[in-house]
Structure formats: C-alpha cells, structure tokens
Structure 1
Amino acid sequence: MTVHRIKHQKLVPLILKALVYDERRGACSLGWNVRDAACYVCWAFARAYDPKELEPYVNQLASALVIVALFDRNVSCRKAASAAFQENVGRQGTFPHGIDILTAADYFAVGNLNNCYLTISIYIAGFEEYTKPMIDHLVARKINHWDGAIRELATKALHNLTPQAPDYMASTVLPQLLPMAIGMDMHGRHGAILACAEITHALYKLAAQNDRPVTDFLSSESIEGLKAIHQTLSDRKQYRGFGGELMRPAVCVLIEKLSLSKMPFKDDPVINGWQSLIDDSLNAKQSIQEAAVSALAALCQQYYQVQPGEADTHMQKQLLSRYLSGLKSTEVQMRCGCALALGSLPAFMIRNKLQQVLDGLQEACRVTQKEDGFTEARRDAASALAQVCVTVGVCAQASPDSAVCEGNVSGVYEALLECMNNYTTDSRGDVGSWVRAAAMTGLQDVTLQVAGSAPDLLSPAICQRMMCCLAQQAAEKIDRYRAHAGAVFLRLLHSTEPAVPHIPYQEELLKIFPLGGVESLNWSAPSQAFPHITRLLRLPVYRYHTLLGLAVSVGGLTESTVRYSSHSLFEHLKSIQQDEAEMQQFGDTLLHIFRDNLHNDRVSVPVMKMMDQMLANGCFEIFVHQDSHPFCVELLSLCKEEIKKSKDTKKLRSCISVKTTAAQVYEMLLTYDDVVDAAVLDDVMTVLSDSNWESELSVVRTYRNQLCDWLGVPRPTLVTKSPV
C-alpha cells in the first residue's frame, strides 16, 4: 500500500499536467494526443486501484477530468475525459456529485463545444468542489489560448460563472486579469480585456438585483485599472497593425460592458478617449465596426444624457455632423461604419434631428451614375434607415424631426422600395442582393411599427408596391434571398397584432398560404416554393412582378431552380390553356416585361430562354395557330430589337443557335422534301449533316454561302462601316 501511495504521489501530478498539455507549433498545436492518453490513464486508474488508494487524489482527478470534458478544444479529448469520469464514478464511487455531473456531461453532450462552455459549465459550477478549479483553469489556460474562438468562449464562460463566486471573481480573478490586459502577450492581452469586460458586467447585474452599484464589488484599484486599459494601449501604439485588429474590438467590448455596468466615469477624460477609438474603428473591417457600433450605443446611453431622455446637445451635434458627413466619404468602409453608427444611436440622440438623419440615410441608399459601387454602404444605410425609424417610433401628427409621421413616412418607404431594385453585380456576383435583403428586413420592421401605432400612414399604394416587390423576390433564383423574401411576405400577410392594412387580395393570399399550412414550407427549396409562387399569377396585381421574378428563375443556370420553376410555370399555363382571355393577359404581361427590360441582359436573356421553353412546350399554341396574332408579331419585333447590333454570343444563342438551326433545317428538309430542287437536295443534305458547324467563322461562312446558292437565297453581305 505504501509503495502504491509513493507511486501515486509521483504519478498523479504528471497525469494532471498531461491532461492540460497544449503547445502551439505554427498554425496548429501539439498535445491533444497527450491529453487523450492521459484520459485513458485516468480511465485505467478506476479499474486498477482500490477506491481507498485513490481517495487522497479524488478531488484533483475529478476536477481535472471535468475541466477537460468541458473546456478542451478537441472533441475526442472531451469525450475521452467524459468516459474516464464515468468509469471512475462507476468503479470508484468517490467522485463528488458524480452521477449528477454525468447526467449533464455525458459522452454525447460534450460533443458540442458551445454547449460545454456556456451551458453545462454553469450547472457543474454549482457544485463548490468544481467552481474555483474551473474558473482558475479558464484564467490560466484558456483566455490566453492561441485559438481566438476558445478565448472568446472562455470569457463568456467566466461571465456565466461569476454568480457562482462573485467575491472570488472581484477580489482574486479581476486583479489577476488587469496586468494581463496590458501585458506583452497579444493573445493573453486580448482574452484578459474581454474577460475583464464580461466579469465586470456580470458583477453589475448581480449588484443591480439588490439596487447596489457595481463599485460595491470592485476595489478602487480595480476601477482605476479598468479605466487605464485604453490609454495604456493607445500610448503603446497597440491599436496598430495585426495586433490592432484584436485590440480594437476587444476594447470596444470593454467600453460597451463598462458603460452598461454604469461605471462612474461621467465627465472623465477617458470618455473622450473611448469616443475617439470608436470613431477610428468605424473605418475598419466589418467585425471591428460591429463592436464599435455596439459600444457607441451603450456609451451614448450612459454618458451623453444630461437627464433622462435629454441629450447633451454638444455631443449630439458633434456626432451627427461627423456621421452624416461620413456617409459621403470616398471610402466604402467609412460609409458603412457611419451608417451603422447612425442606426445604433438611442432615440434621445436623434430626436429633434430626425429629418436630417433620414435625408442622409435615404441619399446613401440611392444608386447614382457617378457612384454605382458602394454596395455594402447601401446595404448598411438601408438597415440603419429602418433601425432609426423603429428607434424614434411612430406618431402620425408629430413633427418630421421627432418621429415617423405623415411628413416623412413616404420618403422612408420610397428609399427602401428603391433598394429592392438594386441588382448591382461585380466580380463577387449579385452583390445587390445584400441591399435587397436589408431592404426586405427594413420594410418588415418599419411596416409592423407603423401598423401598430398609426396604420393610416400606410396607403394602399405603398402596401401594394411593397407586397408586389416581395412577391418578385420570392420568385427569384437565389435560394437564400427567396427564402428571406418569402418569410417577410408571410410575416406581413399573417400579422394580426398589428394587422397590416391594404394588402391586395388578402383573402386569396390566405388561401394560397394558409397559416397552418405554410409553417413547414421551405422557401429555399425550389421544389416546395415554386408551386406556391406560381399561384400568384392568377392575381392581376401580383402577376407582373411574380412573372418577372419567375423569368429570372426559369431562364437561369441552376439546374434544380430551372427544373422546378419551369415545371410549376408550365402547370399554371396548362390550367389556363383553354381560357383565351387569361392567356391573353398572361401574354400581354410577358411582353410588357420584355418591353420594359429591353437591353437589360439580367432580365432579357432569361426572358428569351423562358420564351424558348414555353414555345417548345406548346404553351402559346392558341396564338401561334392564328395568322399574324399580335402576340407573335410583337414577340418577334422585341427579339429583333433585343439582338440588334449585339455581339454578345450568350444573348444571340438565346435567340437562335447556329447548331440548332442547322439541325432544324435538316429535319425540315427530311419532312418537306419538295421545298428544295431534287437536283441539289442530296448536296444540301450532305452539307447540313456532314459539316462541322462549330468550326471557325470563315469556314462556316463557306458552307452557308454554298447553301444559299443551292437554295436560291441571296448571300448575306458584311456591312462596311465608314471611318469616323
């Protein structure tokens, strides 16, 4: 027994060290296999030793295995630790609260890392034997981890664990973190700043439950240490370079959490330093902007009110002027940041200046010839426009400077509806879809706000245009945005508190999309969405926009979208095939779309592809069998106009394909052999069937000219352009 204990005294410390062994090498780390092996050794302990022999080490081993099972980055190590813990509970029976812990952290539950850090850890920390070891491990090993995701999860876990040991956090943990927050290790500095922010905010929430300030928990040294973090980093130039991409959002989170915690910094010079950092961070990448915007909202709420609901006029004027002028910057990131900043401002910072803010954001939403880029800025301006409207509220008879009212509501809707027509493309694809998605969300939020407070502001024209635009987006080809449009369409249609007025054909729409029947409808699946969408074609108000969206889907490139959208469209056409009046209206709408989008390749090319499919499927036989039917004449005229002087092969192939034409001529001659003189028929058939019609143009031209001579058709001649 004594020999075993001596061995245990040497072995257990080594195993405990191995359970947390982690060493970074380049872009990866070494050690998971060591930790996994250590878990296996712990599993073997349960089988090899009598419970009395391991009794002195039970708490150490139990805590270490729980820590690995919850906080290890590698899923196999977490599962191995859980299995080892289970084996020890079953065979040793001495692990504290073993059965309760196994119920929460079994082999399968620990597979989800977020669940481990943010949910299971809270439950297990409720057992005092594990609370401080878990906290100490997070502080010592995880907030300085090389993986940023682990650092952030660790700080959120510390926030959640604070209620289990608030005094320990305030008196022991926070003083440990403050030197790390201004230390030289970049990862440790990043994690420590975030941890300081999260722990302070958690302490504030605990204090607020008893109407106490957070300073009752914090020492004066801790308060001064928190306040000094920003200035220390600024003096050391640590907001620059790669490290700055970590420090900026981390300190912005610190600013947000300290502001929410109502730290006693009002009129302190640190507020100006924080504001300067936020403003500088607005002209950065999106993740930094988002952190800065969140910090700005909290900072304004806590430190820029003279009294509740009344803004510090100096700061209000300064910030609004800065952000509105930033909307006209030549840098897209600055425009985005300023738009997001305006959208985040609390109501008291906007009130009395609302119309000025709305005008600036509405202008930022528009596409002009000089500025056809800035798509991200238009997306963020559309989002901010809706956020501002929701923030200030709605009052029909109010001043345009204080609330959404009769004087400014039309401008808001005009800007958002105009964004629904943004189809800007660049090397990244259809980037205009970002703007359209933001506009759809904005329309939903603003409409529900207006409908709940002053429904009379929603005119029939606004509601009709909005629902038609949503119907068009719900019929288009990109699954993600079709799903978003469908969700917004149904949200407005089915809303009862508040009810949205003036929805065209609301009763018919409710039959197509019944409340109980569309809960499981997957809009992003073409097979489910298009059979519902095409039913809108029977409703005159929605027909144009729905068919416009369908044209892009039917004439698109994605195989599943083309198949299901075209099938649903043909099924609709079959159902109205014998109704001449309905077919006439459908044909007129189709020609109207073609006419409105001549030389707009985004629409005209898919429309011609869709026409080709419909003609091939005999959808317009009712027109084709009539001599010189206006539909056929107009369609031919529009096709000629569309390809006139065009050198776009994709567009030309959409109208007529050389290979297809040769094959069709060959088939025609086989069927109608009396069309060509019998003396040359064999030669014509040979050229049509044996020639390579995909050869160079100069070669194909000789085949064509020979056929023209045989068929008695004048050879086409090239038009020589006169020199300018």
Structure 2
Amino acid sequence: KACPNCCFCALFHFTVVPVILKALTYDEKRGSCSVGSNVRDAACYVCWAFARAYDPSELIPFINQISSALVIAAVFDRDVNCRRAASAAFQENVGRQGTFPHGIDILTAADYFAVGNRVNCYLTISVYIAGFPEYTQPMIDHLVNMKINHWDSVIRELSTKALHNLTPRAPEYMANVVLPRLLPLSVGTDLHTRHGAILACAEITHALCKLAEENNRYKLAAICLFFFLYLSVCQFFFLTVCTLIEKLSLSKMPFRGDPIIGGWQWLINDSLRSLPLVSSTARQHIKESAVSALAALCNEYYINEKGEADPALQDELVTRYISGLQNTEEMIRCGFSLALGALPRFLLKGRLQQVLEGLKKATIISPEDVSFAQARRDALIAIAKVCQTVGVKGEGSQEEYVCKDNVTQIYATLLNGVTDYTTDSRGDVGGWVRKAAMTSLMEVTLLLVQNETELINANICKQIMCWLAQQAAEKIDKFRAHAGSVFLTLLHFDRPPVPHIPHREELERIFPRSETETLNWNASSEAFPRITQLLGLPTYQYYVLLGLSVSVGGLTETTVRKYSAQSLFEYMKKIQNDSSEMESFCETLLKVFEDNLRNDRVSVPLLTMLDQMLANGCFDIFTMQGNHPFPVKLFNLCKEEIKRSKDVRKLRSSIGVFCGLIQFEGDMREKVLFQLFLLLCHPFPVIRKTTASQVYEMLITYSDVVDPAIMDEVMTILSDTNWEAELTVVREKRNHLCDLMKVPKPQLVSKVKYGNVLLRKEGISL
C-alpha cells in the first residue's frame, strides 16, 4: 500500500502475472502419470485471492489476461477439480471486482456444476464463450499451443473437435493463421504433436468448407493438397490420416478425377489390413476410422451425375473386398467385411448377391479358421449394414434389394451365428459372434417390419425369439443382458409391431413395457426369476431349459448359478402337482439331453443340474410310480454320456445323478446299484473314491435300499476301504458288496487292445 501505484503495476505486471498465467496451464508428464494439477489449482486460488486483496482499479491493466486464463482453465483443463477451481475464481472476481468482460453471461454457462463434464466443456461451453471477442483468439491459441500436443490422446482428440466447433467464430484467423501454423507441426519430431496437428487440420478444413463460398473453397483446397504432400513421411498415422480423408471428403474438396483420390484409396485399403505392431484395440479403432473414410470417399468421388458408379471401379472395389474375406489373416477378413458393410448403395447395386454370399462364407466355421471369431463377428455386422443400405423391396431383384428371394438366406446366416460357441485361450470368443448375430437379427427384422412385414414368416420369427430366450438364460452377464435387451426391443416394438411372436400376450405379462428400461439383465437375481417363467410356454421351454442347463450346472459356485438354480427349483415347485406339466417338462429335459449327448459344453453342466434337481426332490411325483419311463430314459442317457469317457468332471457329475436315481422304485434300483459298483472299480482312483463317498451318503439318505441286517457291514466297507488302492484289492471289496446287496457282480470279459496294451473290460453276463 505504501508503494506508488506505478511501482505496484510494474511489479505485478513483470513478476506476478506471468508466473500465475504460466501456473494456470502448467502440466507435465512424468512416467505413467502427470504432475501439475496441484500447481494449477493453487494458481486458481491465487486468482481468487486477487479479488479479495485489491481494489478493482488496481487490477484493470491485467483484467484481460487474467479473465482469459481463468476461462481457459475452467473450460479446457484436464482435471475437474481445476476446472471447478477456475470457475470459482472467475466467479469471485466477477462478484467482487465487476470488471471481467461478460462475466455474468459466462458464469451462467460455466458455473461450478456445468464445468464438471469435460466433453460438454470442450464442445459446447467453449463455443458459447468464444462468441465474446475478448476470449475467442486466446481460446483458439491455447488449444493449438497447449492441447493438440497433449500427452493424453483423449485431450488431443477433444481439442481438435473443439477447434472444429470454434472455427465459425473466427474463420479468417483459422484459415490465415492457424492452418499455416499447423502444417509444419504435422511433420515434426514429436509424435503427439504430429497426431494432434493432422487431426486439427482435418477438423478445421471440414469446418471451413461448411462456411466458405466456392471461390474460397478452391483456395482452401490448394492448402489441403499442399498439406497432403507432408503425409508422405507420416503414413503410419493410419487413424489420423483416415480421419483426415473422411473430413476432406465431407468437405467436398474439388479432387474428382485427381490422382490423389487413388492415393487416398490406397491408404484406406492399407488401414483395413492387418497391422501387426499395433494393439488389438488400436487395430479396431483404425479399421473403424478407415471404414468411415471409405464411406465418405465413395459418396463424394465415386458417383457420377446419374447417381451411378463407374463399372470398372465398382468391379475392382467389390472384387477386392470379397476376395479378402477368405484371406488367411483374420484382421484382413475383419477389415474387408467392415468395408463391404460401408459401401454405398450405388456400389452394391447389381452385386448384392455376390456380397451376401461372400459374407456368408466368412461366417462359416472351418477347421482352418475356427479361432477367427472376430472375422465372423464383423461379417455378421456387415450383413446387417448392407441390408440397411440397399433397402427392402419384396418383389425386387435379389441383386439390388432385400427381397423374397434372398431374405431366407440372410436370416439363415444370422441365425447360424447365434449357435457359435467357439472357445480358445481367450475364453468364450464365440460370444462376440453371438452378440453380433443378435444385433444384426434385430436390425434386419426391424428394417423388414418398417418396410415389408410380409417378408417375415412365422417360423423365422419363432426361431429368433427362441434363440434370444436361450441366450437370455445363459451364464455370462454381458451376453445375457444383450440378448434380453434385443428380446424386449422386438417384443415391444410398435411401429408397426413385429408379427408372429409366439405367446405375445404371456410375454407382455412377464415383461411389461413399463419395466423394459428398469429390468437389469446383468443382475442374475432379477433376470432368472423372469426368464424361468418362459418354461411354462411350450414354444420357449426347450430353449430356455437349454440355456438354464449351462447356468445352473456352472463349474463354480457363483451368483449366476445360485439364482438360476433357485429360480428353476421355484418353477418346479409350482408344477409339482400338475402331472401333465411335469410330463411335458421331463420330455423336454430328456430331449435337451439327447440332442446334446457328448456335447460337453451342455452335457457336463446338464448332469450337474440333474444332480441338483434330483437332490431337491424335483421329480418326487414319479418316485412312487414303479418303472416310470422318465428315470429309465435318464439312466440310459447318463450311461451313454459317460461311455468310454475320461472326463473326471463328467464322471463325477454322473455319480451324483446315479445316486439320485436310487429314489425311483422298481427295477431302476438294481440298475443304478450295478452302475455305481462298476464305478467303484473305475481305472481312475479319484472316481472310485468319489463313488464310495457318494454311495455312503446315498444309503444314509435312502436307508430302505439296504436290508437293515447288513447295513452296518455295507457302510463299514464303504468307509474303511482304501478305494485308491490297487484294482485287485478294490475289486475284491466291491464284489463282497455285490454279494451282500444281491447285485450281479461285473465280470471281466473280452480283452480290449489300446495301442500295444491289452486291457480287460468289466461288464455283466446275464
């Protein structure tokens, strides 16, 4: 206060302000994290303190600098706490100083809560604030100088999109100052700067072309052509270059017939191919960018005045992409599938059937490409995209439209994708294919419904809904949730309704429209009580039971297994006294088992589920009916399933089923005991031990199986024998049990040769 005002101004201008302005943008990456947020936050606090420490007249010379810096921090800072601190400091200065330009208006748009969303700050709030001329150029300069070269790729991409939105606020400045400044940066030594500069050029060019008159556009085209010469040394920026091609195409650059279009096409094709030095996530992003660029390029430069394509060009493109669908490299198949899905209608005209056939072949599993799940997924996605592009015309040509001649083939291909259960070291990779197939089925069905509903027949609709119901009953949360979402979308679509949905009224009662958005399919506690209600609908019973088998009989104890089993048992209790419902359910259950015999993906968990159902008394209605066909068929299927099997989990699950079948009276008991005694001398010691333990528990539970006079001796043999001992010792104990319980002893019969070893096989001679 003692110092003259001029001394204060000099000190403040030359010492304090430059430091604060620098601190407000300080950001530096060290290792895997960045430092600077604390510095920026502290700088905001200093600016907040200015408002309280000085009279408004003392800060007048520095108002524009401080206000611009705080606005930039409030809108463009990477960290939400710094954006909010800057907003608070700006508000304090507006309230106490009253000299910040347009302060009240800016605070209305960029208050403490509004700046919490970073995307909104970059793409919306910034545009509003840039409408005030005092802030326009500082904001643009900050993005160009500080953000397009940021170490965080998300910030770089957001900054370039922000520049696109800010271009209408200062088009001359962008064209005459910013673009010339960006061109040298696009070939600099820093990779972050090169990436951001190329994207920024693309976005600004696109924005300028929306604004410019025709004469300005030619001037801008020359700049862009000059810029493209720089790309000869940075073609490895596939993602960035594809974005640039897309933006220049959308900007309608006057390059029709120019050789540069061939160069652009080459870059797109190269981006669609495999990139071995890039991560799988990056590859996917590059392919998506290349597909977007291809669509924009074709729509702008490959169509003539008549709305048609050059036949030679069409033949070259379509043939190239279709031939790539059978490439030995999976990523090439993926890229070219997506490319076919992105082609505009005038390039597909007359070649639709050829494209659909090529994509169909790419979805077929063969021994050579069984692990190409991503390629099959992208081919299914492309089929739906192609159908949406060409449109529907029931009586039209199959070379131009989705019509009555090709709709069956399209649905057959998509429905086949729902059956893909391929697994490899990555897990259930077939799930990617199933998810894509479900999405494509929905898109194609809704396309037909909105155009020519009669192309959807009842059988196709039944298959779609049944397969979706099966997927909605399975164990993997994300795939179950996707299936449930698609199922409800088709059920409740009403513009117009999807025809031929089986049991529509019952489904709408189970899944009311009001709960479409609130039902959480990811939560097994919510999903399974609903989906098991479909067991009461004959059309869906088989498929839901097939899905539940995998969920209830899961390998480990999970919430999915818990709630799926609980829901199944509750349903069984409801139909326990209804003999016709029980008969129907059991027939379906046996049908599921029979259809999936030795299909370990289904049969092994199905055995576990049957074990649990028998233990929970789900079939008590049949226990008093001697020689009921259900347990007889189930016993025979279990025997057939484990025949010559070396799968320990399968054998263990079958032991539980055999022990559960002992509750059925009649001839079944002797058959079950004989089978269990066979397993007591199984070549695998762990199976012998497990069988003895479970038979012991079985005899405690069903004490009427054994004569009380010999019960103690039987139980002693089962518990005291070392069932992991040599087979000759074990067999003697087992045969003694057979004698006690009057069960035929398995006999050593014919010799069986395995390689150079002769083994004796146990059986029964009657």
Relative to the length of structure 1, the TM-score reads 0.92
8 Å CA contact 2:268, 2:294 repeated in 1:
yes
Q: 1:594-609 residue pairs with structure 2 within 5 A?
A: 594-609=593-608
Which of these residues, 254, 258, 273, is aligned with residue 268 of structure 1? 258
Confirm or deny that 1:165 pairs with 2:170.
yes
CA shift, 1:453, in A, is: 1.9
Cα deviation digits, residues 180-223 of structure 1 (max 9, x gap): 2233322111111111111122223334xxxx44x52x573x42
Corresponding residue for residue 725 of structure 2: 698
Amino acid at match of 2:261: I
Partner of 2:591: 592
Name which of 661, 665, 668 aligns with 2:699. Answer: 668
Partner secondary structure for residue 311 of structure 1 = coil
Q: State how far apart, in whole Å, the 1-side matches of 2:44 and 2:348 are.
A: 58
Question: Is 1:96 the equivalent of 2:110?
Answer: no
Listed one character per residue, the Cα deviations across residues 464-494 of structure 1 (whole Å, up to 9, x for unaligned) are 1111111111111111111211121122122
Q: Does 1:347 align with 2:345?
A: yes
Tell me the amino acid that sits aligned with residue 138 of structure 2: P
Given candidates 42, 46, 50, the residue that maps to 1:37 is 42
Q: 2:705 and 2:162 mapped to 1: Cα distance?
A: 86
**Other-structure match for 2:562:** 563
Amino acid at match of 2:582: M
- Shift of the 711–676 alpha-carbon distance from structure 1 to 2, 3 Å rule, reads farther
Q: 1:58-77 counterparts in 2 under 5 A?
A: 58-77=63-82
Give the whole-Å Cα distance in 2 for the aligned partners of 1:705 and 1:38: 88
Q: How far apart are the structure 2 equivalents of 1:347 and 1:372?
A: 32
Matched, 1:394 2:392: yes
Alignment-derived partner of residue 20 in structure 1: 25
Name the CA shift for 1:672/1:634 in 2 (closer, same or farther; >3 Å). Answer: closer
Q: 2:381 aligned with 1:383, yes or no?
A: yes
- Mapped pair 1:546 → 2:544: yes
Contact 1:463 1:502 in 2 (8 A): yes
For residues 303-324 of structure 1, what are the alpha-carbon distances to aligned partners after superposition, in whole Å with 9 as ceiling and x for unaligned? 0012242112121111001000
1: CA distance, partners of 2:576 / 2:715: 38
CA distance in 1, matches of 2:433, 2:90: 52
Aligned amino acid, residue 239 of structure 2: P
Query: Is the counterpart of residue 8 in structure 1 residue 12 in structure 2?
Result: yes
Do the aligned partners of 1:22 and 1:30 also contact (CA within 8 Å) in 2? Answer: yes
Corresponding residue SS for 2:514: coil
SS class of match (1:626): coil
- The corresponding residue for 1:578 is 577
Match of 1:313 among 299, 311, 314: 311
Q: In the alignment, what sits opposite 1:636?
A: 635
- Can you list the C-alpha shifts for 1:525-551, whole angstroms capped at 9, x where unaligned? 222222221221122111111111111
Partner of 2:304, secondary structure, is strand
* Paired residue type of 1:469: W
- Deviation of 1:168 after TM superposition, in Å, equals 2.1
Taking the aligned partners of 2:179 and 2:435, their CA distance within structure 1 comes to: 43
- The answer to which of 107-116 and 314-323 deviates more is 107-116
Q: Give the corresponding residue for 2:660.
A: none
Q: Deviations over 1:473-521 (max 9, x none)?
A: 1111111111211121122122221322222222222222222243321
Residue range with higher mean Cα deviation, 254-263 or 499-508? 499-508
Match of 1:193 among 181, 185, 198: 198
Looking at structure 2, the residues matched to 546 and 204 of structure 1 have their Cα atoms a distance apart, in angstroms, of 55
* 8 Å contact kept, 2:696–2:719: no
Partner of 2:411: 413
Contact 1:709/1:715, CA 8 A, preserved across alignment? no
Pairwise CA distance, 1:666: 5.3
Q: Structure 1 unaligned runs (5+)? A: none
Structure 2 Cα separation of the partners of residues 671 and 287 of structure 1: 62
State the alpha-carbon separation in 2 of the partners of residues 407 and 676 from structure 1.
70
Deviates more, 1:502-511 or 1:102-111: 102-111
Who is 1:136 aligned against? 141
SS at match of 2:65: helix
Task: Output the CA distance in 2 between the equivalents of 1:700 and 1:59.
Answer: 94
Asked whether the 8 Å contact 1:296–1:344 carries over to 2, the reply is yes
- After superposition, give the CA deviation of every residue in 1:100-131 in whole Å (9 maximum; x if it has no partner): 32333233333332222122222222222212
Q: What is the CA–CA distance in structure 1 between the aligned matches of 2:489 and 2:300, rounded to whole Å?
A: 35
RMSD over aligned CA atoms reads 2.4
After TM superposition, give the deviation of residue 257 of structure 1 in Å. 0.7
Deviations along 1:594-634, one digit per CA (max 9) or x if unpaired, are: 00001111111111111111111111111222111111001
Does residue 106 of the first structure (1) align with residue 96 of the second (2)? Answer: no
1:670/1:152 CA distance change after superposition, 3 Å = closer
Structure 1 counterpart of 2:671: none
TM-score, structure 2 length as denominator? 0.87
Aligned to 1:497: 495
Q: What is the alpha-carbon distance in structure 2 between the residues aligned to residue 665 and residue 11 of structure 1?
A: 87
Deviations 1:371-428 (A, max 9, x none): 3121100000000011101100011111111111111111100000000100111111
When residues 376 and 677 of structure 1 are mapped into structure 2, their CA distance, relative to the original with a 3 A threshold, is: same
Structure 2: 5+ residue stretches without partners: 275-282, 657-688, 756-766
Q: Distance in 1 between matches of 2:135 and 2:344?
A: 42
Distance 1:661 1:460 in 2: 52
Q: How many residues align?
A: 705
**1:482 aligned partner, one-letter code:** R
